[in-house]
Structure 1
Amino acid sequence: MDLPNLGNLDIGQLQQYLQGVNFPAQKEEVASNAESNGAPQNIVDGIRNAAQDKFNSQDEVLQAVKG
């Protein structure tokens, strides 16, 4: 399976992986939820490697993952 290019990731794609997350949310909660929803590993890793420990919105997650 090809991993998606994170630079081309959009909020619509990310929303499907973040279903069930209530923001604000801790980084590990967001990453675990994304993993459970079938997010590709590079997206899960991007969340886990983000500088912040908490996300206030899906848009913040998107910006962190895209870098």
Structure 2
Amino acid sequence: MTFKRVIVHPMYQDFHTTPRIYFMGEYNDHQQLINVFNHTHQKLKPIEGTYQWELLDHSVVYFVEEDSKFPRKTM
């Protein structure tokens, strides 16, 4: 299992005008993103077939992409 910072973009907002937001991504041994956690350690739920993740308590949807500048860390 590895952890890596991911970049998230709130859906339905212009990606180029909103500041970058970083959450923590958890990857399995095959380097597939399996969990995303926000800065308050709330777990986001993936939306099947997309790169979108939903924060259930707040009904906020994010587009998630890998941050290539941040190395993966094994735990």
TM-score class normalised by the smaller sequence: under 0.3
Considering only CA atoms, is the larger Rg found in Structure 1 or Structure 2?
Answer: 2
TM-score, normalisation: structure 1: 0.26
* Larger helix proportion of the pair: 1
* Larger strand proportion of the pair: 2
